A = this chain, B = another copy of it.
Amino acid sequence: MKKLMLTTTLALSLMLLCCAPALAADPVKTLSGDITLAQAQKILAAALKKAEAIKVPMNIAIVDAGGNLKAFYRQEDAFIGSIDISIKKAVTARYFNMSTRTLGSVSQVGQPLYGIEASNDGLILFAGGVLLVDANNVIIGAIGVSGGSVDEDESVAMAGAAAIK
């Protein structure tokens, strides 16, 4: 890829030399409006603050609009096993555009979606995964929190989500 990068640099230099407006520019790589790292950091900070307030060490994961990991923090003493759960909670919320609490309520024994957790390499169906909706009312990703009771997890996720409203 180094060679590739050098080629790109060379192409860029040539472009700057000629300033030809007709020259094909590098394509845009990220859809406009997707979550930024700055937004993710703001969400993480708000979630951490809540976790500290309730004194429960947490794993906090953020995915973008495509469901791909954007940022993650694990606090001291937070369960190692909750790394995967927090990420899966965020993915689950975005994959079905609802909180994991809501999805869970229709996936219990005897409910219509019972067994849905066998799909998508494993979903998490208890509270703690919440959508990230920006000030323009666009879903730009999701946050998943794991480390305490499901109510504690969800309260931390909601504190994070509120930071970009």
Asked if A10 lies at the interface with its beta carbon under 8 angstroms from chain B, I say no
Which B residue sits closest to A66, measured CB to CB? B66
For A122, give its contact among B67, B74, B75, B119 (CB under 8 Å).
B119
Q: How many copies does the complex hold?
A: 4
Tell me the chain A residues, 64-120 only, with Cβ under 8 Å from chain B.
64-77, 79-85, 88, 92, 94-98, 102, 104, 106-110, 112-120
A131–B27 CB distance below 8 A = yes
Given the complex of chains A and B, what is the CA–CA distance between A110 and B70 in angstroms?
Answer: 32
Given the complex of chains A and B, what is the CA–CA distance between A152 and B116 in angstroms?
Answer: 16
Number of residues in A with C-beta < 8 Å to the partner?
A: 80
Given the complex of chains A and B, what is the CA–CA distance between A103 and B115 in angstroms?
Answer: 12
A11 surroundings in chain B (CB, below 8 A): none
Given the complex of chains A and B, what is the CA–CA distance between A151 and B106 in angstroms?
Answer: 14
A27–B133 CB distance below 8 A = yes
B2–A112 CB distance below 8 A = yes
Which B residue sits closest to A74, measured CB to CB? B70
For A117, give its contact among B33, B66, B118 (CB under 8 Å).
B118
Which B residue sits closest to A132, measured CB to CB? B27
A95 surroundings in chain B (CB, below 8 A): 79-82
Q: List 30 A-B contacts (CB under 8 A).
A: A4-B98, A4-B149, A25-B137, A27-B131, A27-B138, A28-B139, A29-B97, A31-B31, A31-B32, A31-B33, A31-B34, A36-B76, A64-B74, A67-B68, A68-B80, A68-B83, A70-B74, A72-B72, A79-B97, A81-B96, A81-B123, A82-B95, A104-B115, A112-B126, A113-B150, A114-B125, A115-B117, A115-B126, A118-B118, A119-B122
